[in-house]
Amino acid sequence: MYMNETFRVGVIRVITLPDQNQAEIHGRLMEQYVPALKTYTVCIPDQPEGIHSLELKAAAVPKIIEAAKAFADMDAVVISCADDPAVDDLREKLDIPVIGAGSSVAAMASRYGDRPGILGITDYAPEPYDRIFGNRLINLGTPEGVKGTLDLMTDKGRESVIRKALELKAAGASSIALACTGMSTIGISDLLMKKCAIPVIDPVLAESVCTYFECLRTKK
């Protein structure tokens, strides 16, 4: 019925990137995963480190709410961040679906057992992961030397992510729930699945699938 339908999706990046081509990486990935999605991307201002602490998350929320105003006439809005900043606020303000990467990952991880290992860049488990899994979540902390999104772009950062994923598997993780969309940017999920031989939930892939479902569900 909707096979030829295209849905317009606003994508909000929670890091300030001066290069629009780089900013649109998540949107392009979403379109590759779900060709029915047509994405439009903005970055919030004055957030050069993205979100890797509760303080930075709090600072980002009003900027995200302001950025979302430009997408009010879209079919959906995606906050491409595993911490789901401003998602609840925007769901109250907008009449369209608002999708967060974190809740999308957590929902998909629940399909693969009840003991996911979380792999991100924050010292805390982002709220959607904690809400859905609570003390069933395996959290061994951040990869060594990775303190923010930019650290993922280095060879040392990638190697540290792989080591932490293997530690999570050894600790009994039923899947690995990536908790930073920067890991989608560096395209590491396939490599982690090969190394660990358990499901690895990629945040941008997860938000793409959930966005498409919500667009279909709410289509008028």
Instruction: Using DSSP, state whether 192 is helix, strand or coil.
Output: helix
Helix (H, G, I), strand (E, B) or coil at 44: coil
Q: In which residue ranges of the chain is pLDDT below 70? A: 1-3
**Residue 92's pLDDT is what?**
96
Domains and CATH numbers, the chain: 7-102+205-218 (3.40.50.1860), 104-202 (3.40.50.1860)
Confidence (pTM): 0.92
C-beta neighbour count of 100 within 10 angstroms: 29
Listed in sequence order, the residues at least 6 apart from 133 whose beta carbon sits closer than 8 Å to its beta carbon are: 106, 109, 110, 114, 116
Handedness of CA 194, 197, 202, 205 (dihedral sign): positive
Percentage above 70 pLDDT, the chain: 98
Q: What pLDDT score was predicted for residue 152?
A: 83
What is the residue-averaged pLDDT of the chain?
Answer: 93
- Cα dihedral 129, 134, 137, 141 sign: positive
CB 182 within 8 A of CB 204: no
Q: Give the model's pLDDT for residue 201.
A: 97
Predicted confidence at residue 147, as pLDDT, reads: 80
